[in-house]
Amino acid sequence: MDYSFVPNAARIALYDDMLSSPQIIEVPPANTTNFIGELSSQIYNLSRQAGGGIPFSAIKQVTENFIHADFREIVVSIMDDGNTIRFTDQGPGISDKQRAQLPGFSSATEEMKKYIDGVGSGLPIVREYLDVKHGTLTLDDNLNGGSVVTLSLTPQKTSNFEKHTPNIPTTTSQVSNIPSEIVLSSLSKRSQQILSLFKNESTLGVQDISNMTDIPLSSTHSELRKLEESGIIEKLGKKRILSNLGRNIIESL
């Protein structure tokens, strides 16, 4: 099968409450990379706007798994003020649900691996994150075949940062343990926006950051380079992580 293009639209159902009809958002057909990125971003942004705290990395890991269902009949439901996200499809289903949550077990083909990692780390990473945050990951069979993956997170009382981009301190004196040569007011609004993502994400790729912020990819590279030169973030392979300085800034917010 050619996995280079997703021919079917995905539907996102956003529930204000379970007593009323949801708002429906469609993600149109697109090439596979763009489709996964757009669907992940829409789910993330809608869940955050509703007040949820499930991170983008967890959402994208589950979204990528739709490739195993040939992207058939995708419906994503966002409930509980964004803290429960249910991913459903009409694919072949998950035959061994316990092994699917263990590192190293994968049914990804070589063709699929052109678009996803395919090393069996996706669901285990999501499960570990939710365990730490006292959330849950459940795998079920869908009606008439297919899979249902549900992520649930216990709402946090301090969620203002998660709902809004914070105001980065404007002088070094406002943040402890920051070298005087790092002047936070020199950061652009885009750099501040990128930095805010690391409050909830330990590692982020360039494409992920671009998807989450709607900053063009070329501009994302430029802003990341500035943050690296300032010593605020560092490279980890193809990903970006906070430096010690970056962690100090984030902890001060």
Burial 228-240 (b: 16+ CB within 10 A, else e): eebebbeeeeeeb
Q: Of 55, 39, 36, whose CA–CA distance to 159 is shortest?
A: 55
Residue type at 74 in one-letter notation: I
Q: Which one is predicted more confidently, 9 or 244?
A: 9
pLDDT score for 187: 74
Are 5-152 and 165-252 the same fold in CATH?
no
Q: Give CATH for domain 5-152.
A: 3.30.565.60
The answer to whether domain 165-252 has CATH 1.20.1370.20 is no
Return the minimum-mean-pLDDT range out of 58-67, 77-86, 137-146, 183-192.
Answer: 183-192
Kindly state the average pLDDT of the residues 186-200: 85
Q: Of 40, 34, 26, whose CA–CA distance to 6 is shortest?
A: 34
In the chain, beta strands by DSSP E: 5-6, 10-14, 23-27, 30-31, 75-79, 84-88, 136-141, 147-152, 204-205, 233-236, 239-242
Residue spans per domain, the chain? 5-152, 165-252
pTM (two decimals): 0.66
